Amino acid sequence: MMVMLVEIVVQVVVLRQGWTISSGPRRRLGGMRIGAHVDPADPLAEATARHAEVVQFFLADPQGWKDPQARADADALRGADVDVFVHAPYVINVATTNNRIRIPSRKLLVKHADAARTVGARGLIVHGGHVDKGDLATGIDNWRKTFAYAEESGGFATQILIENTAGGENACARRFDALARLWDVVGEFGVGFCLDTCHAHAGGEDLVDIVDRVKAITGRIDLIHANDSKDGFDSGRDRHDNLGSGNIDPDLVVAVIRAADAPVVVETPGGATGQSADIAYLRKRLNG
């Protein structure tokens, strides 16, 4: 009996120590990790300036087709106590029926996934894309071809996170009926999902219970882009605003983050001042 008791005590101590070790210094007690999309020149300095635990940036001009370049701070980024995410250029559209855009897009996406790995990125965010004329099924099949193409060279080097978008009538990840069709095809490739609150609102998907609706389709949310919207519901416009300054009830943004239980990035205006205020607001609401 005494021996059993001792064993139980030892097991409890081991379990508690294991919990302490695994929860580690990276995790804020009772809170999500929150950060911002920042200028790529010195992301770690930008993170410090915002008291951010997560940092997201571009590895090349978001409006251009240039390859990402090796970064002098790659080791520092990999070793930092900050979660790194990389956003792919906006010009990438792997869904399009225009092969002069589609082929360079999937090639560039592979290169960005390779480069994102060198900085220790936890995910490479890419917009869902769209087809120019009518046929969404072709766009979705083009997504399948993108993953098949990447698999020829061993698969994407970084976890791909498809992000919902605000505009377009033939978008793969604006409305969730399209998203469900997309996931039927790409889900098997282990793709992740990034939910942007501005894009959902402007794209015509209600933020109430949105995490449940997303998870019913994707089974996962890997990252939240917590943004207010300058424009109205279903406007189709993509103009981010600081939390509480735009058209979205900030209570809804907080509820989305709570329900998703994923890292958070604000992609809001106002530089370090504006984003620090948004991050502080979310911490106060989420930890309070």
CA pair distance 25, 23, nearest whole angstrom: 7
CB nearer to Zn ion: pick between 145 and 220 = 220
22: enclosing H helix or E strand: helix 2-23
CB of 217 to Zn ion, least distance (A): 18
Helices 99-118 & 136-151 angle (0-180, nearest 10): 40
Q: How far is the CB of 223 from Zn ion (least distance, A)?
A: 9
Of 196 and 231, nearer to Zn ion (C-beta) is 196
Distance of CA 119 to the CA centre of its chain: 16
CB 198 to Zn ion: min, Å:
7
Instruction: Categorise residue 5: left if φ over 0, alpha if ψ from -120 to 50, beta otherwise.
Output: alpha
DSSP state of 89: P
Sign of CA dihedral 106, 55, 115, 67: positive
Residue 175 vs 225, nearer CB to Zn ion: 225
Shortest spacing between CB 138 and Zn ion, in angstroms:
25
Closer Cβ to Zn ion, 62 or 64, answer by number: 62
Q: Which residue has the tokens 């087809």?
A: 131
Subset of 171-210 contacting Zn ion (CB under 5 A) = 196
CB of 125 to Zn ion, least distance (A): 7
Q: Give the up-direction half-sphere exposure of residue 191: CA atoms within 13 A in the CB hemisphere.
A: 28
In terms of C-beta density within 10 A (0-12 exposed, 13-18 middle, 19 or more buried), how is residue 15 classed?
exposed
Do 126 and 92 contact (CB within 8 A), yes or no? yes
* Among the residue ranges 24-32, 72-80, 148-156, 219-227, the one whose residues contact Zn ion (CB under 5 A): 219-227
When binding is defined by CB under 5 A, the residue of 102, 175, 225, 230 that contacts Zn ion is 225
Closer to Zn ion by CB, 201 or 225: give it: 225
Q: How far is the CB of 173 from Zn ion (least distance, A)?
A: 11
Nearer Cβ to Zn ion, position 53 or 196?
A: 196
| Interaction pattern, residues 47-86, with Zn ion; x per rule: CB under 5 A | ----------------------------------------
- Which of 187, 186, 165, 185 has the alpha carbon at shortest distance from 176? 165
Distance of closest approach, residue 136 Cβ to Zn ion, in angstroms = 21
Name the residue whose CB lies closest to Zn ion. 225
The residue (of 196 and 241) whose beta carbon lies closer to Zn ion is 196
Q: Is 240 in the site for Zn ion (CB under 5 A)?
A: no
Binding footprint of Zn ion, residue count (CB under 5 A): 2
* Shortest distance, position 163 Cβ to Zn ion, whole Å: 6
- E-strand ranges in the chain read 34-37, 54-58, 83-87, 123-127, 160-163, 192-196, 223-225, 228-229, 240-241, 264-266
Sequence-ordered alpha helix ranges (H) in 80-98: none
Nearer to Zn ion, 155 or 271 (CB): 271
Residues in contact with Zn ion by CB under 5 A are: 196, 225
